[in-house]
């Protein structure tokens, strides 16, 4: 235990120092430097001591990695025994083009797959629907049917590679396509490993790719949770995402609080369905951003583990230690990338990735240098993957577990993050819970205010962005940009037309009718979605049945 008398003496010494030589040094600094702040505009002390940590006896209370409350990591050996999964997010154009990119990345040492879908797919449209016009393959791969999913994973062993899919409103359908493609290949569902994002709450809060109203949307999420726990036990059926909340402009503390708050809401809905918390909680995972402020991001991850463990054990009574674990994937901050001097993005990504690794991530995607301009080229994505591999193999940061544990600075920031998260939990509870808070625009307003403040700091020159408002250059861009097959759209449309001609349309109609009945009742919809997908019903056809049963959500106008 720290000696309080000595701590008070240290405090007096620091204050004396502050009043003499340090005050002179500070006086010579520009006015904007009088207060040092994080990326989230939180003030930073000049020096951190045990006095700044909430628990003065924190050295012993922190515990060890792999021990509750997991502040120091969810595994006792972490990256010493097993590196994080290097899971590069990829998808563009047709299924054939993305399949080739998947195989290339695996050949280059990637250890897990992550599928990016195009906007039409994310919004539940087939490529040839009028609403999808102009969006084919631009921000991901187009997947309109089981046939596309089979092509996307041609030659890739379902039972050997784990796959993540970033999709939300139509997540149950695209997941069913993946499961059906594996079954058609002779792979059992209990052999499959992976994750669907399936986090509809953050869509209402930040990303806005919702289709149905909140309640029926949540029903679909819980259906996947229940089905996965029974049939696909190695699959994470939700990746509760703070990434998109942060990309929309939130602070680190808001990302932490809103993400964990969403996670706790999913737990409540799962329990309300009648499931035991330990039946599904071990397969809840998280997805966090890695932004520019190195130590703030690390503190965020540490606070997330501690809060989640405490809430799962003490609030929800989970008894299985795996239910207490906040396991998470990290992606470097897309919003931090600049079109100006894009080569600088390599450095930004490396720093962000290092923060994720030191923060104890289980999985990591590193953005490519050209992503402020286009989807990544093969050259750029290789550099991004090599960044992870250099951190893993050359930096030495994997040699010990939680090397920053016990840092006065890191632990004080972790405490602050935790306090701010609980303050937000209280405010959301006062509004009636997560969905009422969404409907009242609370989350949206908080994020908007934070984004506005951050942008003003850039516009006023208070916050420097290298190559944008500091050290800018007027040089033409010379980096190569990804080019997609110009005939890809026509081939995709033709494939859909042929599919509708050759499939058993009577069977398709019957499966959609049975799905409609299930949607209007209370039974789990996943078996019926699986049946429709196996009949080669398209994404758009299944979504249309759901729209007829659930309606379409329109966000209230916020003034």
Rg (CA), the chain: 24
- Is residue 4 included in any domain, yes or no? no
pLDDT of residue 373: 94
326 and 451 share one domain: yes
- Is residue 356 included in any domain, yes or no? yes
Crossing angle of the two packed helices 442-459 and 252-273, in degrees rounded to 10: 160
- Is residue 196 included in any domain, yes or no? yes
455 and 511 share one domain: no
- Is residue 63 included in any domain, yes or no? no
214 and 111 share one domain: yes
pLDDT of residue 59: 52
State the residue range of the domain holding 527: 488-550
425 and 542 share one domain: no
- Is residue 64 included in any domain, yes or no? no
496 and 402 share one domain: no
434 and 517 share one domain: no
SS3 content of the chain, % helix, strand, coil (to 5): 55, 10, 40
- Is residue 557 included in any domain, yes or no? no
pLDDT of residue 37: 85
What are 355's strand-pairing partners? none
Q: For position 253, which CATH number holds? A: 3.20.20.240
Residue ending a domain, among 459, 478, 507, is 459
191 and 314 share one domain: yes
Residue ending a domain, among 412, 440, 459, is 459
pLDDT of residue 175: 98
**What's the structural domain count of the chain?**
2
**Please, are residues 520 and 549 in contact by the beta-carbon 8 Å criterion?**
yes
Helices (H) and strands (E) in the chain, counts: 22, 9
DSSP state of 22: I
397 and 534 share one domain: no
Residue ending a domain, among 414, 439, 459, is 459
pLDDT of residue 558: 62
* DSSP sequence for 408-420: HHHHHHHHHHHHH
241 and 121 share one domain: yes
The CA-to-CA distance between both ends of the chain, in Å, stands at 53
451 and 520 share one domain: no
**Please, are residues 7 and 51 in contact by the beta-carbon 8 Å criterion?**
yes
Identify whether 340 is preceded by a cis peptide bond (ω within 30 of 0): no
pLDDT of residue 556: 80
104 and 159 share one domain: yes
341 and 382 share one domain: yes
pLDDT of residue 9: 66
- Is residue 413 included in any domain, yes or no? yes
- Is residue 481 included in any domain, yes or no? no
pLDDT of the chain, 559 residues: tens digit per residue: 456 666 666 556 655 544 544 444 444 434 444 468 888 888 888 877 777 787 666 555 688 899 999 999 999 999 999 999 999 999 999 999 999 999 999 999 999 999 999 999 999 999 999 999 999 999 999 999 999 999 999 999 999 999 999 999 999 999 999 999 999 999 999 999 999 999 999 999 999 999 999 999 999 999 999 999 999 999 999 999 999 999 999 999 999 999 999 999 999 999 999 999 999 999 999 999 999 999 999 999 999 999 999 999 999 999 999 999 999 999 999 999 999 999 999 999 999 999 999 999 999 999 999 999 999 999 999 999 999 999 999 999 999 999 999 999 999 999 999 999 999 999 999 999 999 999 999 999 999 999 999 999 999 999 999 999 999 998 887 788 898 889 999 999 999 999 999 999 999 999 999 999 999 999 999 999 999 999 999 999 999 999 999 999 998 876 5
């Amino acid at each position: 235990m720290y000696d309080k008398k000595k701590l008070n003496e240290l405090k007096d010494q620091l204050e004396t120092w502050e009043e003499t030589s340090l005050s002179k040094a500070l006086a010579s600094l520009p006015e904007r430097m009088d207060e040092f702040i994080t990326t989230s505009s939180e003030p930073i002390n000049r020096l951190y001591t045990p006095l700044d940590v909430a628990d003065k006896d924190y050295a012993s209370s922190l515990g060890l990695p792999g021990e509750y409350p997991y502040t120091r990591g969810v595994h006792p050996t972490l990256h010493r025994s097993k590196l994080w999964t290097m899971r590069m997010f990829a998808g563009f154009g047709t299924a054939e083009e993305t399949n080739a990119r998947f195989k290339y990345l695996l050949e280059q040492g990637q250890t897990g797959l992550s599928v990016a879908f195009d906007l039409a797919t994310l919004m539940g449209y087939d490529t040839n629907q009028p609403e999808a016009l102009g969006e084919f393959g631009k921000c991901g791969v187009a997947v309109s049917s089981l046939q596309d999913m089979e092509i996307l994973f041609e030659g890739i062993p379902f039972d050997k590679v784990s796959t993540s899919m970033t999709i939300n409103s139509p997540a149950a359908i695209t997941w069913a396509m993946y499961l059906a493609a594996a079954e058609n290949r002779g792979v059992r569902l209990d052999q499959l490993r992976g994750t669907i994002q399936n986090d509809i709450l953050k869509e209402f809060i930040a990303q806005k790719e919702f289709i149905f109203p909140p309640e029926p949307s949540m029903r679909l999420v819980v259906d996947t949770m229940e089905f996965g726990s029974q049939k696909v036990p190695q699959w994470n059926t939700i990746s509760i995402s703070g990434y998109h909340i942060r990309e929309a402009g939130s602070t680190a503390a808001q990302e932490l609080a809103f993400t964990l708050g969403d996670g706790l809401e999913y737990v409540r809905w799962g329990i309300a369905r009648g499931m035991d918390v330990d039946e599904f909680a071990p397969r809840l995972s998280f997805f966090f951003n890695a932004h520019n402020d190195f130590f703030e991001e690390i503190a965020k991850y540490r606070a997330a583990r501690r809060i989640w463990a405490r809430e799962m054990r003490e609030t929800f009574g989970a008894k299985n230690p795996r239910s207490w674990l906040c396991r998470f994937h990290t992606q470097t901050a897309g919003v931090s990338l600049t079109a100006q001097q894009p080569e600088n993005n390599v450095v930004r990504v490396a720093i962000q990735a290092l923060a994720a690794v030191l923060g104890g991530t289980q999985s990591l995607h590193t953005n490519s240098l050209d992503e402020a301009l286009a989807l990544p080229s093969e050259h750029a994505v290789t550099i991004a993957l090599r960044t992870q591999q250099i951190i893993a193999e050359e930096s030495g940061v994997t040699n010990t577990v939680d090397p920053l544990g016990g840092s006065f600075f890191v632990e004080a920031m972790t405490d602050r993050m935790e306090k701010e998260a609980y303050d937000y939990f209280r405010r959301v509870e006062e509004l009636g819970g997560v969905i009422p808070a969404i409907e009242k625009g609370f989350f949206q307003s908080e994020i908007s205010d934070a984004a506005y403040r951050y942008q003003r700091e850039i516009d006023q020159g208070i916050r420097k962005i290298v190559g944008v408002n500091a050290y800018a250059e007027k040089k033409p861009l010379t980096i190569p940009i990804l080019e997609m097959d110009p005939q890809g759209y026509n081939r995709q449309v033709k494939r859909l037309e042929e599919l509708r001609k050759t499939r058993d349309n009577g069977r398709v109609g019957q499966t959609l009718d049975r799905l409609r009945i299930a949607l209007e009742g209370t039974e789990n919809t996943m078996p019926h979605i699986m049946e429709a997908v196996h009949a080669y019903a398209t994404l758009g056809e299944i979504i249309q049945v759901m729209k007829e049963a659930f309606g379409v959500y329109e966000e209230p106008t916020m003034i």
